[in-house]
Each structure stands twice: as C-alpha cells, then as structure tokens.
C-alpha cells in the first residue's frame, strides 16, 4: 500500500497537500514523508504510524529505558553512528523464555531476551543490518520510534556505559588503596618485631 494512500485514508491528510508534496518530490527528489513533515502537513507520529502500516513494522511511541543494552554495545559501536542513522538496540525479556533453572539453548541468554532495534527510518536496511552484524545479534525484531525517544535511549545507553567504566576505575583505585594499606601495615609489623632484637644487641 502506498504511503500517500495510507496518509489520506487513515489520517485524513488533504489530497492537495499530498499532490503538492508529490510534485516537489519529482522536482527535487527526497522522500514523500520527509517533505510532508517539513511542510508540517503531518506530525512525526502520524508519519511513523503510516510507515508502520506500510512496512508492517510495529510502532513504539516510547522505548523501555530499563532494557537499554549500554554495557553490551557502547564499546562496540560509536554514538555518532547510532545518532546519524537514528537507531538504538535493546534487549527485552522474552515472554516465552523458560523459567529460571531451565534453558532452551544451553546458556539461557538467547531464550531469556529478545533483541530489538528501534529505528526512525524503516527503509534504512543497510544500517540496521550493519548494526546487527557488529553486535553479532543472532536475531532481532525491528520497531519504529520517534527521533526523540531514540536519541534519549542512545544518550542513556552511553551514560550508563560511562558510569560503569568510571565505577570500574573507582573499584580498581579502591582495591589499590587497600593493598597499599596492607603493605604499610606489614612494614609496620616488621619494624615493630625487629625493635626488641636491636635493643638486645645494643645491650650486649
């Protein structure tokens, strides 16, 4: 089903607006949805809902922030890449996963989570495939979401990753301090234990 047909019959976009956008598309190129969005003939949500129908891809107006894969992907791919292509990966609980103590794949990971890639552009297949390949996702589900929701998820993922790295450094520094304290205590004990011997030798 064509996007213009969906926008007209499902969202009531005026036919003259669609025609004007179509003429501009023929003259200057670009995508019909982007042209309509720039002209404020449609909202981003309306466009994404129409694209969801056209591509048969679910539309998630909000993303589950608790399922961001910050630690799992932030060190593998740049934040610039994700922002440029308006997409972010997530791992949501699998409702069909085995109960705790059982596993469908031997390690429990593949069956416990369903990998999701949220994108703002369903036609950007190459970037989505590149992301899945870089992260070595065995399988994933594609969903549509708003630019704002995706950007917020990207920023949160990298903030969480940075916090984890900082916490790791702090933990290492704390462990180093503990080791130094133990070594200092050992040196002090050695000095104390040698003191009576030194005094005894001096009296001989």
For residues 136 and 132, give the distance between their C-alpha atoms in angstroms, rounded to a whole number. Answer: 6
Statement to judge: residues 49 and 67 lie in one domain: no
The answer on 91 and 13 residing in a single domain is: no
Same domain, 80 and 153: yes
Domain boundary among 37, 55, 73: 55
Would the pLDDT of 105 be above 90? no
**pLDDT exceeds cutoff 70 at 44:** yes
0.85 exceeded by the pTM? no
Query: Is 9 in the same domain as 37?
Result: yes
Question: Is the predicted pLDDT of residue 48 greater than 70, yes or no?
Answer: yes
User: Does 109 score more than 50 pLDDT?
Assistant: no
Q: Is the pLDDT of residue 175 over 60?
A: no
Which of 55, 73, 96 represents a domain boundary (last residue)?
55
In terms of domains, do 102 and 31 share one? no
Can you give the pLDDT at residue 193?
A: 55
Phi, psi (rounded to 5 degrees) for 86: 50, 60
Judgement on whether residues 103 and 164 belong to the same structural domain of the protein? yes
* pLDDT of res. 142: 97
Instruction: Round to whole Å and give the CA distance between 141 and 93.
Output: 13
pLDDT at 163: 54
Q: Decide which of 97 and 51 is more confident.
A: 51
Looking at the 3D structure of the chain, how many domains does it have? Answer: 2
**Residues 95, 190 within the same domain:** yes
The reply to whether 80 and 50 lie within a common domain is no
Q: Looking at the structure, do residues 114 and 33 belong to the same domain, yes or no?
A: no
Could you tell me the residue range of the domain that residue 80 belongs to? 57-204
- Kindly report, residue by residue over 135-155, the tens digit of the pLDDT: 999 899 999 999 999 999 999
Q: How many CA atoms lie within 13 A of 203 on its CB side?
A: 6
3-state secondary structure of 88: strand
């Amino acid at each position: 089903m064509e996007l213009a047909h969906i926008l007209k019959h499902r969202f009531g976009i005026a036919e003259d607006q669609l025609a004007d956008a179509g003429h501009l598309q023929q003259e200057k190129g670009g995508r019909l949805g982007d042209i309509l969005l720039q002209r404020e003939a449609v909202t981003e949500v309306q466009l994404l809902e129409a694209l969801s129908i056209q591509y048969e891809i679910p539309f998630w107006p909000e993303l589950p922030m608790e399922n961001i894969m910050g630690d799992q992907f932030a060190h593998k791919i740049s934040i610039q890449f994700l922002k440029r292509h308006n997409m972010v990966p997530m791992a949501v609980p699998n409702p069909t996963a085995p109960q705790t103590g059982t596993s469908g794949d031997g390690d429990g990971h593949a069956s416990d989570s369903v990998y999701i890639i949220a994108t703002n552009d369903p036609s950007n297949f190459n970037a989505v495939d590149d992301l899945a390949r870089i992260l070595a996702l065995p399988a994933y589900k594609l969903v549509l979401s708003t630019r704002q929701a995706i950007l917020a998820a990207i920023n949160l993922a990298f903030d969480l990753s940075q916090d984890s790295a900082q916490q790791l450094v702090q933990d290492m520094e704390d462990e180093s301090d503990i080791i130094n304290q133990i070594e200092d205590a050992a040196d002090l004990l050695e000095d104390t234990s040698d003191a009576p011997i030194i005094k005894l030798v001096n009296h001989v």
